Amino acid sequence: MSEAGQRVVILGGGVIGSSIAYHITLLNKDPNLKVTVVEQTAIGCAASGKAGGFLSYDWCDKGPLQDLARKSFKLHAELAKTLNGKKRYDYRVVDTLEVTASTKAVSVKPPPTDWLKPGVITKYKSIGTTQTTAQLHPYKFTKTLIEEAESRGAEVRIASAQGLEFDKYKVSGVRLSTNETIPADIIIIAMGPWSGEALSWLAKKSGRAFQLPNVSGQRAHSIVVRPTVEISAHVCFVTLNLGRRFSQPEIYPRPNGEVYVSGECDESPLPATANDYVPNPTAIKNLKNNINTLSPDILGNATVLHEQCCYMPISDDDKPLIGKVPWLDGVYLATGHSVWGILNSSGTGKVIAEMVLEGQAKFADVRALAPMRPKNHYIH
């Protein structure tokens, strides 16, 4: 082992941090290694608990995420068998459709499912099958990973990270909002949209400018409804022409009878914590109008269970930061996953665990996602 540090501290209790905790405790062979997850609010309380949970095998092809995404998709299927994902976090394979609809449609087609309204669908096509697309409940999945990690000795601390301590360029601890410092040999920053502040700690410690993209948050809205009838397992990505504007709702039926509907992204300042999330009322209204247009009798009449928003962690160059910070000893990044955080959480957790415990990533090729970016890019 190249870095058999006895004390590993993971900053962030979302799906990425929880996956890292799961895989480190799974791969670890050092009985003295201690894993602590520091989460400022609650496990899975932010985007990890309010996402759609969609998984795709090949939608990240022809880019730097291809290898990680393909292997993460397969790993999700393996984890579902190992962890009884069908029961514990609603894992299942699905058919996925691209649907075009219009309130001004002249030429219409019969809807591809019996829960979409006739008379508004202008075209549709399959963009995923049960071989290439799947879904899970992201909050339940995150909780399952943490429960498994805790069963192998990991500890969860509810506190906010305020900064890092160093012995020269070797990390030695993390300062918490509880006015204490947790000793650490290895720090892994997986703080989602709040990672930007932590990146500034690293830049200040460098003594000179290094190329680190910033990580910030983009607000996305969703509602969760419960119809009175069971609907088919067709995930639908819709382009809806409303006359004066277009909308692009995504509809995810879940095996527990709920239907998750998302869309309506906008720019809004990142709140201090997930407890401070406030959705835009207009965005929520638009999502309700969308399902009432597309499925008035079933989704339009469904009971609304949740009206919510989350902030997706997005880096300046739209690529996640996965790997070791090269000018510091014992600091790793796993953040900025954007819309593919749930999909790539499994693989990210495994490659970070391999880096920490074995010195290099073997599961997937993530070299293009290393925190250091090419020159002439934004310097944090």
Q: Could you read off the pLDDT of 35-61 as tens digits, one per residue?
A: 999 999 999 999 999 999 999 999 999
Neighbour-count burial of 109, counting CB atoms closer than 10 A to its CB (0-12 exposed, 13-18 middle, 19+ buried) = middle
Grouping H, G, I as helix, E, B as strand and the rest as coil, residue 81 is helix
Q: Which long-range contacts (CB under 8 A, 24 or more apart) does 119-126 make?
A: 120/293, 120/294, 123/99, 124/97, 124/98, 124/99, 124/100, 125/97, 125/98, 126/95, 126/96, 126/97, 126/98
* pLDDT tens sequence across 244-289: 889 999 999 999 999 999 999 999 999 999 999 999 999 999 999 9
Residue 377 has pLDDT above 70, yes or no: no
Check residues 61 and 6 and name the one with the higher pLDDT: 61
Q: Are 71 and 109 in contact (CB under 8 A)?
A: no
Residue 209 has pLDDT above 60, yes or no: no
Q: Of 349, 374, 343, which is closest to residue 363 (Cα–Cα)? A: 349
* pLDDT tens sequence across 321-332: 999 998 899 999
Neighbouring C-beta atoms of residue 331, cutoff 10 Å? 24
Q: Residue 16 has what DSSP assignment?
A: H
pTM, to two decimals = 0.95
What percent of the chain is predicted at pLDDT more than 70?
A: 95
φ/ψ of 119, rounded to 5, equals: 95, -5
Query: Quick one: pLDDT at residue 324?
Result: 96
For residue 375, name the pLDDT band (cuts at 50, 70, 90). Answer: low
Q: What is the mean pLDDT of the chain?
A: 93
d(CA 45, CA 27): 26
Alpha carbons within 13 angstroms on the beta-carbon side of residue 209 total 9
Across the beta sheet with 92-93, the strand order is: 54-56, 133-135, 92-93
d(CA 40, CA 204): 23
